[in-house]
Amino acid sequence: MESKIIAIAGGSASGKSTIVDYIKNYFADDLFVMGHDNYYKAHNDIPFEKREKLNYDEPNAFDNEMFIRDLKRLKSGKEIDMPIYDYNIHTRSDKTVHVSPKKIILIEGILVLYDKMIRDITDTMVFVDADSDVRLQRRILRDTKERSRSLDSVLTQYIKQVKPMHEKYVEPTKKYADIIIPRGAKNTRGIEILIKHIEDLLKE
């Protein structure tokens, strides 16, 4: 079995995970979600105070060598041990998850369309689009509730790193997308079209 790979990119808090969760529940056993964020470079050698100031929005923040190696293994029907990232401590957790190949692999992350080597092994590329003010509002709520951040740190990181890196690296990858989903997870019709496309891929 050679798996099909679908990439879901888009700005931070655009609704990627919300859409992916919906699709995951729909396809259950035929689909695996491989978060690109799990492949952020591990920084266990750097103290927390320094880790929290690193730039996590530039392409170099990811270990794409490991990501592509694991993705190719899964695509060709082999198993992997996927790392698990912990945003609260800004590094990988000490856990991994053992993953068996599935017919569909959904890869998801802000910069998952950036690297040509990832695009070359991807079957369908999707970009989730959402207004930047809406994304900032959602990021404030999410990161203060779920990622142990203060309001001050979310705003500082947004102005110094998230917004400029989004404009420089994330937004330009929209041109590679086969499907653009405007208004993020609110766009139920767009999500239905993506689900229909995945159903067609499963029949091939």
Q: Which residues bind ligand ADP (CB under 6 A)?
A: 10, 12-18, 138, 142, 184-186
Closest CB to ligand LLZGTKA7 belongs to which residue? 12
d(CA 34, CA 7): 10
Among 17, 55, 7, 91, CA closest to 164: 55
Instruction: Work out which of 32, 39, 40, 114 binds ligand LLZGTKA7, going by CB under 6 A.
Output: 40
84 close to 93: Cβ distance less than 8 angstroms:
yes
Q: Rule CB under 6 A: say whether 162 interacts with ligand LLZGTKA7.
A: yes
Half-sphere CA count of 191, side-chain side, radius 13 A: 18
Q: Rule CB under 6 A: say whether 110 interacts with ligand LLZGTKA7.
A: yes
Radius of gyration over alpha carbons of the chain, in Å?
A: 16
Q: How far is the CB of 171 from ligand ADP (least distance, A)?
A: 14
Q: Rule CB under 6 A: say whether 107 interacts with ligand LLZGTKA7.
A: no
Residue 71's binding partner among ligand LLZGTKA7, ligand ADP, none (Cβ under 5 to 8 angstroms by kind) is none
d(CA 134, CA 89): 26
Q: Which is nearer to ligand LLZGTKA7, 57 or 63 (CB)?
A: 57
Residue 87, classified by CB atoms within 10 Å of its CB into exposed (0-12), middle (13-18) or buried (19+), is middle
Q: Rule CB under 6 A: say whether 125 interacts with ligand LLZGTKA7.
A: no
Among 42, 32, 40, 113, CA closest to 74: 32
Q: Rule CB under 6 A: say whether 169 interacts with ligand LLZGTKA7.
A: no
Residue 138's binding partner among ligand LLZGTKA7, ligand ADP, none (Cβ under 5 to 8 angstroms by kind) is ligand ADP
158 close to 41: Cβ distance less than 8 angstroms:
no
Q: Rule CB under 6 A: say whether 13 interacts with ligand LLZGTKA7.
A: yes
Record the tokens describing residue 178, joined without a space.
Answer: 């086969």
**Site for ligand LLZGTKA7, rule CB under 6 A:** 12-13, 16-17, 37, 40, 56-57, 87, 90, 110, 162
